[in-house]
């Protein structure tokens, strides 16, 4: 009887695989729609996981010492509020340092561009030299063509204004749903975990449940250490950048150092993004110091990439530096920035599991010998 059931299940699975391959375009289309609809929930899960790290710190290190909070779920409520307030204050502090200075630099650049163009004497150049280079160049016709093209582009954007407003409204709703789902998970994480374990124990064999729990525990451990290590590394890099810029007397030291530290949350490539923005900002004030800044950042990035990052992040997740680099390269190539963020902890989890399985296999072989 059991053999007949196995044959039936194999046949059903084989037929399902055949249908999935034959109707692959429909299957992928359906999966994309499902993932698109579930995107706010997935974002909420990611937010809850990040906030939970800070929440566990508050509960385990600070609030646990206050006995009054242990009754009636007060500890969870206060820890969630403290975690959210901490993150909001950190982000608002970063943006308050960056945004005003960035706007000031853009305004300075906008004021300097007309002066540069005036010094270049564009009118004289167009009138005297352009006809010599391009004899049949019709300035008036080209200007009319540019205006017509601009009008066409403007009308296109105006026609798409409704879809743009609709997209913004949809994004706001998605963010709200993600935040609400995040709060729900933080308050009921034990209940949700218990429900999932009960469902697993009912529908899956104990051996499969043990394997799933083993994989999830390794992933959780790797992601937790990666987030903590990446944040620590970003703070170190931002602090070193601020100190170095103050020593070299470069402008916007605190703002650019903070921005580079913030972008350094993206592994390896993030610091270069911050450096590019910082160089443009310094260029609007003192062009020569922009070159000094770039040399300083390249040197700092070498120290960070070869010493700080492998030690802080690589050692915290137990992944050698060469695998960190490989994970970032492959993850970035497949999924871009999300791939860079996910590649390192996923690779670290796989690395640890393969390492443990290999050790167990080697121990079994030695026992058999």
Residues 193 and 237 in one domain: no
Summarize the confidence of residues 342-357 as an average pLDDT.
Answer: 83
Closest CA to 54 of 74, 78, 79, 76: 79
Residues 235 and 185 in one domain: no
Task: Report if residue 252 sits inside a domain.
Answer: yes
Over the stretch 153-210, which tens digit does the pLDDT of each residue have?
555 554 555 566 667 677 778 888 888 888 888 888 888 888 888 888 887 777 888 8
Residues 80 and 70 in one domain: yes
Over the stretch 275-314, which tens digit does the pLDDT of each residue have?
888 888 888 778 888 889 988 988 887 877 777 766 666 6
Q: How far, in Å, CA of 41 to CA of 48, rounded?
A: 10
3-state secondary structure of 59: helix
Please calculate the CA angle 228-230-232 and round it to the nearest 5 degrees: 70
Give the number of domains in the chain.
2
Q: The domain containing residue 48 runs over which residues?
A: 38-105+175-203
Residues 211 and 325 in one domain: yes
Residues 219 and 179 in one domain: no
Summarize the confidence of residues 241-263 as an average pLDDT.
Answer: 87
Task: Report if residue 318 sits inside a domain.
Answer: yes
CA separation, residue 314 to residues 14, 50, 227, 368 (Å): 42, 19, 12, 35
The residue to which tokens 């374990």 are assigned: 197
Closest CA to 346 of 304, 53, 308, 354: 354
Minimum mean pLDDT range among 51-60, 91-100, 156-165, 179-188: 156-165
What per-residue confidence (pLDDT) applies to 31? 82
Task: Report if residue 153 sits inside a domain.
Answer: no
Residues 287 and 199 in one domain: no
Residues 73 and 93 in one domain: yes
Task: Report if residue 14 sits inside a domain.
Answer: no
């Amino acid at each position: 009887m059991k053999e007949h059931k196995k044959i039936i299940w194999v046949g059903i699975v084989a037929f399902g695989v055949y249908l999935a391959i034959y109707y692959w375009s429909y299957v992928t289309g359906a999966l994309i729609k499902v993932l698109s609809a579930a995107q706010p929930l997935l974002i909420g899960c990611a937010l809850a996981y990040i906030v939970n790290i800070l929440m566990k710190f508050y509960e385990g290190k600070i609030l646990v010492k206050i006995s009054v909070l242990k009754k009636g779920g007060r500890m969870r409520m206060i820890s969630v509020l403290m975690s959210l307030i901490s993150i909001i204050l950190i982000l608002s502090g970063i943006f308050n340092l960056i945004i005003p200075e960035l706007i000031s630099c853009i305004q300075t650049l906008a004021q300097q561009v007309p002066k540069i163009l005036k010094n270049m004497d564009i009118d004289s150049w167009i009138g005297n030299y352009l006809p010599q280079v391009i004899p049949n160049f019709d300035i008036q016709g080209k200007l009319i063509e540019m205006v017509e093209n601009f009008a066409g582009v403007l009308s296109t954007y105006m026609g798409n204004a409704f879809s743009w407003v609709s997209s913004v409204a949809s994004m706001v709703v998605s963010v709200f749903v993600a935040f609400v789902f995040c709060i729900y998970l933080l308050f009921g994480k034990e209940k949700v975990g218990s429900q999932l374990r009960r469902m697993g124990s009912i529908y899956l064999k104990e051996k499969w449940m043990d394997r799933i729990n083993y994989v999830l525990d390794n992933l959780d451990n790797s992601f937790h250490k990666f987030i903590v290590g990446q944040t620590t590394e970003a703070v170190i890099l931002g602090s070193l950048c601020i100190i170095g810029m103050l020593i070299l007397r470069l402008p916007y030291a605190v703002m650019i150092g903070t921005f580079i530290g913030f972008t350094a949350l993206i592994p390896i490539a993030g610091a270069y993004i911050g450096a590019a923005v910082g160089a443009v900002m310094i260029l609007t004030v003192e062009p020569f110091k922009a070159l000094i800044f770039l040399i300083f950042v390249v040197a700092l990035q070498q120290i960070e990439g070869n010493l700080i990052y492998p030690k802080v992040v690589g050692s915290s997740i137990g992944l050698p530096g060469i695998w960190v680099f490989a994970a970032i390269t492959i993850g970035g190539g497949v999924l871009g920035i999300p791939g860079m963020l996910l590649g390192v902890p996923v690779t670290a989890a796989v690395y640890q599991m393969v390492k443990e399985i290999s050790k167990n296999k080697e121990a079994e072989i030695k026992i058999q010998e």
